[in-house]
Amino acid sequence: MRVLVVGSGGREHALVWKLKQSPLVKKIYCAPGNAGIGSIAGCVNIDALDFAGLAAFAAENDIDLTVAGPEAPLAAGIADYFAERGLRLFGPVKEAAKLEASKVFAKRLMEKYGIPTAKSLVFTDPEEALSYLGRAETPLVVKADGLAAGKGVIVAETLAEAEAAVQRIMVNREFGDAGSRILIEEFLAGEEVTVLAFTDGKTIIPMVSSQDHKAAYDNDQGPNTGGMGAYSPAPVLTKDLWERVKTEILLPTVSGLRAEGIVYRGVLYAGLMITASGPKVLEYNVRFGDPECQVILPRLKSDLAEIMLAVIDGKLEKQEISWYDNHTACVVMASEGYPGAYETGKVISGLEAAEKMPGVYVFHAGTAEKDGYIATAGGRVLGVTAWDKTLQGALERAYRAVNAISFAGARFRSDIGQKALRRNDNNYDHV
């Protein structure tokens, strides 16, 4: 089987790495890829939103399976485009991808089908939003409706912060058209967890749990990013809570979409807050999370290519998916200034030494070749990932590898996984 992965980040490197392990896969390409992906697959210089170019490449190179990694091509309808041309692609159609592309769409679906989530109001006029804030209680959350690369959610502790968020999103248009509508939501207290699931629109098979670290700095300080690290499993999600997530959130989401005439096939991502009253949905994504993908796929024992084909063909109920009973951790190394402005082209050293360490793999997120060297080419540069029998062991391996790597301005969080360690990672009922 010949496979094409669409995208250029750490998630796509992890997908290529895992798919390459399948005995079904004989050749694998990535468009456009990055320097790390280029070491294990053929990179082709086609943009992720160039559907005509991607489809032509797939047809000309007898691609049996295309995997759309990022949200932007899915939201723009790459699954529909490929299906119309008889090409097999893993990922939901455009109508289903609205679950991530529009937070208003997602919120209305949850309200209609009784899926637990935060109370919210929708605004299209910044003056009306500001007027509402004048009588609202803080803290609260201000969200851009559309895609904002994980950065369009602002937790406001004070009225001034909430007003500034409305200004940034709706007036300054910091996130472009994604900010033409906003949601102002109640603040949910608790601990976050991510649950992803494979679904073919009928059957749902949840994956192992993980926890992302969105804030830029230690102790969850600073602006939201696309993700500064992750670990799996997340002890906050006990087996009892996992059953509630499946029955109260995942199943009603897929069945609700089906009732709306939308068959969801792909990965369904539920970003959850575990509150005092149980799990509630913070957000949906319509693809593997990044960096959650980097800690989940190393735990997958089953054949990823086989699962994806079953999803596409509507035969997921015949799949038995198994997982390694270990712990994984990913520490993101980012460029100085991220998630704001940053410089690129910084030469990276120490990659070979890090990758020689046992139980370590370095997923490239924003890298490129420069004069025979590997250099930075993005805000999130590397996802240094490790696995071990315990979370403590996985974190020690990951940080040892991080400390072997260097580039000018490199920064990373030093507290990945600490919430789990405080729960004692060897003594909980995890999934």
Instruction: Look at residue 161 and give its three-state secondary structure.
Output: helix
Per-residue pLDDT, 304: 98
Instruction: Give the per-residue pLDDT at 151.
Output: 79
CB 12 within 8 A of CB 30: yes
* pLDDT > 50? residue 84: yes
> Residue 56 — very low, low, confident or very high, per pLDDT cuts 50/70/90?
very high
Angle between helix 94-101 and helix 251-259 axes, rounded to 10 deg? 130
Return the pLDDT at 424.
Answer: 61
Average pLDDT over the chain reads 96
pLDDT tens for each residue of 108-152? 999 999 999 999 999 999 999 999 999 999 999 999 999 987 778
User: Where do the structural domains in the chain lie, given as residue ranges?
Assistant: 2-91, 125-180, 191-421
As given in the structure block, the two tokens for residue 416 are 């990945």
Per-residue confidence (pLDDT) for residue 224, from 0 to 100: 86
Average pLDDT in the 184-202 region? 96
Per-residue pLDDT at 430: 57
Over 80: is that where the pLDDT of 429 sits? no
pLDDT tens string 255-295: 999 999 999 999 999 999 999 999 999 999 999 999 999 99
Q: What is the structure's pLDDT at 32?
A: 98
Res 149: pLDDT: 77
Per-residue burial over 314-338, b if 16 or more Cβ lie within 10 Å, else e, is: eebeebebeeeebbbbbbbbbbbeb
For residue 176, pLDDT beyond 60: yes
CA distance 184 to 207: 30
For range 178-184, the mean pLDDT:
94
Mean pLDDT of 88-98: 98
- So what's the pLDDT on residue 425? 46
What percent of the chain lies above the pLDDT cut of 90?
Answer: 95
Residue 390 has what pLDDT?
96
Residues 394 and 386: beta-carbon distance below 8 Å: yes
**Span 91-105, mean pLDDT?**
97
Helix ranges (DSSP H) in 34-70:
51-60
pTM for the predicted model, two decimal places: 0.94
Q: Half-sphere exposure (CA, 13 Å, Cβ side) for 223?
A: 13
- Report how far apart the first and last C-alpha atoms of the chain are (Å, whole number): 32
Query: How many of the other CB atoms lie within 10 Å of CB of 136?
Result: 15
* 228 pLDDT higher than 80: yes
- The C-alpha atoms of residue 121 and residue 324 are separated, in whole angstroms, by 42
CATH of domain 191-421: 3.30.470.20
What are the tens digits of pLDDT across the range 301-341?
A: 999 999 999 999 999 999 999 999 999 999 999 999 999 99
Inter-residue contact 46 to 61 (CB < 8 Å): no
**Two tokens, residue 337:** 């200034």
The three-point CA angle 326-302-30 to 5° equals: 100
Per-residue pLDDT, 431: 63
Secondary structure, 3-state, 296-323: HHHHECCCHHHHHHHHHCCCHHHCCCCE
Residue 152 is predicted with a pLDDT of 87
Q: Which of 3.40.50.20, 2.60.40.1930, 3.40.50.300, 3.90.1150.10 would CATH assign to domain 2-91?
A: 3.40.50.20
CA–CA dist 365, 12 (Å, integer): 8
Q: What is the mean pLDDT of residues 162-169?
A: 96
DSSP state of 348: P
Q: How many DSSP H helices and E strands does the chain contain?
A: 15, 22
How far is the C-alpha of 155 from the C-alpha of 115, rounded, in Å? 22
Q: Could you give the 3-state DSSP secondary structure of residue 162?
A: helix
Nearest-angstrom CA–CA distance, 234 and 238: 8
125-180: CATH topology is Dna Ligase; domain 1 (3.30.1490)
